[in-house]
Structures are given as C-alpha cells and as structure tokens.
Amino acid sequence: MQNEPPELLVIHAGIIQIFGGFKSAAEIYLVTRSSAVSDRLSHLQSHICENACTIIANCSSQDELDFLFPEFSRIRNHDLAVIETWEHQVDWMRLLPESELQLLNTFDAKNLELSETSDTQQTTSLTAPLEQLAYASLVKKSHFDSLQDQLLFMFQPSKRRQYEFYIQEKSSAAGYKILVTTNLQQASDMVVANLYHYFKNV
C-alpha cells in the first residue's frame, strides 16, 4: 500500500475534525450555536484546496497520479461538496428561530438514517469505486501532463480558465472557428487539458 503524502494526511485530518462526532450541519450549529461555524467550514474548504494543489504540483510519476487521482476525485466530489452544502445550511439556519431549529434537527436525523442505509447498499453493490472507474477511462484518452492538469482543475478552477484563454488564442491564430469561449466553457476538463497540451506542442 502506497504511503499518503503529508499534505494528504492534513486534508484527511481537517475533514475528520469537522465530520468527527457530527453527522449534519444542523447538529453542528445546534451544539455549538457559534456564528464561526460557517467561517470554519469555508476556511476548511480553502485549506483542502490549497493542500491538494500543492500535492498535485509535486506529483512526478504515473504511479503517484494513479493513486492520487481517484482519491482526490472523491474528496472533491463528496467531502468538499458536503462541506460546502453544510456551510450554506448553517448560513440559512442562523436566520431561523429556536423552535424551527429544533424541528429541523429532528427531521435531519431521520433523513440521515435513510441516507446511511442507502449509501451502504450502494457501496456493497459496486465492484469498484466510481472515481476509480472514471479515472481508468480518462487514462485511455489522456497523457500524464493532461491528467495532472485535469486533477488540478478540480481544486483550482481559475487554472482551467487560463487554459481556455490560451486555447482560444492559439486556435484563432490557427484558423479554428469552433474553439470559442462558449464552447470551451461547456467542454469537459479532459477536453480542455488535452487541447491545451496539443496547442502547446504544435
């Protein structure tokens, strides 16, 4: 088993710190009654993205990327998505009266039990994690540098926008009319990364 980079351990520690002992945004806010909960969640998102970008930038081999890509895809698509949702929920709950907060907490707990049962059933029915299957498909269509950039796009969207601008500039000079901003914005991360490296090497 490959050892996790120190920065990845920091990411996991930060997630555990938030999730450990709490199962919903409602529970966090009801227990702490702190207006700092939202700021803490926002800071954690930024901290995770910064550490992820550091790890990705330092990735120098296909073996490392094979390990990191599915792991980071899950962090981005699941853990970060949950934290972001919790942040929005806490911001909304801060405006609710106490009676509605208590009612919401009861409702949240019931939904959580149903969700956990569904997640368990879904997990046991899969032969491999979806992130691993998706990565296996990308590997067939992209080289190392493109895959590294696709992973970076997940945590640094501004990087993708820089690539879109570069592609549009180069494609326009080459006479390609279809690669305009609107089309590039609708393209997948794989397409943008592959196009960037194509124009970079022609």
Boundary of a domain, candidates 108, 128, 148: 128
User: How many residues are there in the chain?
Assistant: 202
Boundary of a domain, candidates 77, 111, 128: 128
In a domain, 196, yes or no: yes
Query: Which parts of the chain fold into alpha helices (H)?
Result: 6-19, 25-32, 36-58, 62-74, 80-93, 98-125, 130-139, 144-155, 157-173, 181-186, 189-201
In a domain, 172, yes or no: yes
What is the C-alpha separation between 189 and 181, in angstroms, rounded? Answer: 14
- The angle at the Cα of 79, spanning 125 to 189, to the nearest 5 degrees, equals 90
19, pLDDT greater than 70: no
What is the C-alpha separation between 55 and 75, in angstroms, rounded? Answer: 13
What is the C-alpha separation between 194 and 184, in angstroms, rounded? Answer: 12
Least confident of 95-99, 124-128, 136-140: 124-128
pLDDT for 103: 77
Given pLDDT bands bounded at 50, 70 and 90, which one contains residue 49? very high
Indicate whether 25 and 105 sit together in one domain.
yes
198, pLDDT greater than 90: yes
Indicate whether 162 and 65 sit together in one domain.
no
Question: One-letter amino acid identity for 119?
Answer: D
Indicate whether 141 and 106 sit together in one domain.
no
Indicate whether 26 and 94 sit together in one domain.
yes
Least confident of 1-15, 83-97, 131-145: 1-15
> In angstroms, what is the C-alpha Rg of the chain?
20
What are the backbone angles phi and psi of residue 26, rounded to the nearest 5°?
Answer: -60, -40
What is the C-alpha separation between 116 and 25, in angstroms, rounded? Answer: 16
Total number of domains in the chain: 2
Least confident of 37-41, 48-52, 146-150: 37-41
Indicate whether 124 and 157 sit together in one domain.
no
Residue 103's domain comprises 6-128
Given pLDDT bands bounded at 50, 70 and 90, which one contains residue 97? confident
pLDDT mean over 30-38? 67
Indicate whether 109 and 143 sit together in one domain.
no
pLDDT for 93: 80
pTM comes to 0.78
Indicate whether 44 and 124 sit together in one domain.
yes
pLDDT for 161: 98
